[in-house]
Chains A and B, each alone.
Chain A
Amino acid sequence: MSSERSARPQGNLDHAEKVSLGAGVFRRCDGCGDTQLSESFAYGVCPRCGHHERLSAEQWMQLLLDPGSFEPEGEALAPTDPLRFSDGRPYPERVASARRSSGATEAIRVGAATLAGRPIMFGAFVFRFMGGSMGSVVGERLTRLFERAASARRPAVVLSASGGARMQEGIFSLMQMARTVAALGRLREVSMPFVSVLLDPTTGGVAASYALLGDVNLAEPRALIGFAGPRVIEQTIGQKLPEGFQRSEFLLEHGMIDQIAERREMRATIARVLALLLDD
């Protein structure tokens, strides 16, 4: 890595601080229910209770990436309906309505970018698109992300927020777990780091594939992270789950993640990790 890059102030958040992450003058917190001035919700974090509101993929890009550096990859990819799946409403209709309501083409955006001046491959889930579920398109985009990171020798940074596999694509969605992890294996072969950022929630087939295999696993405070969803576990064991179960703090305590990173520190944390792993 060039000395020019490592000389940059890695914790610089000036551009991110200017990002306005909410509209309207007042805003009600989903965590504590308090209504406050919108501008006090810096980064979508409640000034009173610290509740982290979910950010969109674009907001995360603004927060983490160098302005204008994101070059999307695979945006034209669209799901088909291999199972001709219908639960009363055909799957293609569900996809079309998810597109309309989320404004995204699928449940993840990936591409090349720079973070604090460093070229990376970047991905961020769109939770609003069918719960961030992983079907063939999400699998393909992630696979390309890891493959290109390996071939261009760039680190990979992925922000996951997903309920898991996309049921409507059946076995094809299950196989995306194998596919994305195999592609991550290629990145490991060239000794390029994968920083996995776990957002609320990361469960099911996304958690049980590449998402907990980061060289460094970071999580937002209080994010729900786990294999099974809390309701499934409660049904299985026939009792209520303890407070804080499967939250980031619980995972940190049980050795599954490296750090809980506050949202305003996320960019600096990722930049530091990459610099320490890659720069001379």
Chain B
Amino acid sequence: MATLEFERPLVELERRIAELKTAIRASGRGGAEFDVEVARLEEKARRLQEDIFGSLGSWQKVQLSRHPDRPFTLDYVQRLCDDFVELHGDRAYSDDRAIVGGIARFRGRSVVLIGHQKGRGVKDNMARNFGMPHPEGYRKALRLMEMAARFRRPLLTFIDTPGAYPGLGAEERGQAEAIGQCLLSMSRLRVPVIATVIGEGGSGGALALGVANRVVMLEFSTYSVISPEGCASILWKDRARGPEAAEALKVTADHLLRFGVVDELVPEPPGGAHRDPDEAARRVGDAIARHLDALAPLDGPRLAEDRYRKYRAIGEFVGE
């Protein structure tokens, strides 16, 4: 398991507790004084966790949102859905594995799912291009959005990408147009759409899956117009000043909830989603189900209108 700098004291303490328990078992002795010591250390670990995670800065949340062990889209799909049938390809060029999608049953409902997908380990990450889609990924998503509309299935999306890939082939094949088409398609869908930010919400490449009736966001996820490093490099010609930029850009879930961009912040299990993926998935699933229930009375045109109004209202300006 990968460990972030600020997680280290906690992970160290937990390792010591585990070692102590092993030693006690091995010695075959046990007894009250050992139990008291273990309980004391466990209480200490619990408090340390509260201390660390109760006062995380923006940059630490950015790091958590990118944690290599953080649950990814397929980790949620696997825990939340029965009968997932993955659907591949854009029917034009290729199958972009940085975006996954398909049809499945979620708590008794048939749904269409689309999400960015990062890889686990080097090989998987290469195949998934570190979760940075090419145009064909967005065109696969577009195909699935249209399928959701055609068969009147709610659309659930999962957002977790550093951004759409900025490369030669991506530009040649129309990255900008592909993202624009996703925005247009999502904005007009006559089915319920719930987007969940589970990790990194990296700019337009994230928003392309994010035009939803309700946007749910995990506590330690981020959503931003530009990566903190990208912002720092433009403002100060220094990517190392990402932490400052993260603060200035207000990329964390608490800010986005306050801004009205996000409708619900889902608290993560103690220590972050990666320390208890099952519990994280349960919480995400509960939030999604609740929003689907709330939207159930709306017919197709009203769902599109509800979504239109949501985005129509997002803007900060004065005059008139």
> Which residue numbers of A lie inside 8 Å of B, CB to CB?
74, 76-80, 82-83, 85-88, 136-137, 139-140, 143, 165, 167, 169-179, 181-186, 188, 203-205, 207-213, 225-228, 232-233, 236-237, 241, 245-246, 250, 254-256
Contact = CB atoms under 8 A, between A and B. Distances in A.
B174 A208 contact: no
Contacts, number: 185
B105 interface: no
Contacts of A171: 223-225, 249-251, 255-256, 259, 261
A208 B232 CA distance: 22
Interface stretch (B42-50, B161-169, B288-296): B161-169
Contacts of A209: 179-180, 183, 204
Contacts of B203: 165, 174, 205
Interface of B: 164-168, 170-177, 179-181, 183-184, 186-188, 203-204, 207-208, 210-211, 223-226, 230-231, 234-236, 248-251, 255-256, 259, 261, 307-308, 311-312, 314-320
B318 A77 contact: yes
A165 B317 contact: no
Residue in B183, B184, B256 whose Cβ sees the most chain A Cβ within 10 Å: B183
Nearest to A232: B166
Given A185-B187, A228-B175, 10 more contacts: A85-B249, A175-B311, A182-B188, A203-B176, A209-B204, A212-B177, A225-B176, A226-B171, A227-B166, A233-B168
A76 B170 CA distance: 39
20 contacts: A78-B319, A83-B249, A85-B248, A87-B235, A167-B225, A167-B249, A171-B249, A174-B203, A182-B211, A203-B176, A207-B176, A209-B180, A209-B204, A213-B181, A213-B184, A227-B164, A233-B167, A250-B172, A254-B172, A254-B173
A165 B235 CA distance: 14
Given A78-B319, A85-B248, A178-B187, A208 B204 contact: yes
Residue in A79, A174, A184, A203 whose Cβ sees the most chain B Cβ within 10 Å: A174
Q: Secondary structure of the A side of the interface?
A: helix
B159 to A, nearest CB: 12
A177 B225 CA distance: 10
A250 B172 CA distance: 8
Q: Secondary structure of the B side of the interface?
A: helix
Pairs A-B, 6 closest by C-beta atoms: A228-B166, A136-B315, A182-B187, A207-B176, A227-B175, A76-B319
A167 B168 CA distance: 24
Contacts of A246: 171
A185 B184 contact: yes
Residue in B173, B176, B187 whose Cβ sees the most chain A Cβ within 10 Å: B176
Nearest to B244: A87
Contacts of A80: 316-318
Given A74-B320, A178-B311, A254-B174, A205 B183 contact: no
A240 to B, nearest CB: 11
Contacts of A232: 166, 230
B315 A139 contact: yes
A88 B237 CA distance: 13
A185 B172 CA distance: 25
B53 to A, nearest CB: 23
A228 B183 contact: no
B319 A181 contact: no
A80 to B, nearest CB: 5
B165 to A, nearest CB: 8
B226 A167 contact: yes
A226 B231 CA distance: 19
Contact of A177 (B181, B204, B319): B204
B180 A181 contact: yes
A256 B174 contact: yes
B211 A140 contact: no
A226 B248 contact: no
Given A170-B225, A184-B184, A228-B166, A179 B312 contact: yes
Nearest to B320: A76
B183 A227 contact: no
Contact of B180 (A175, A210, A228): A210
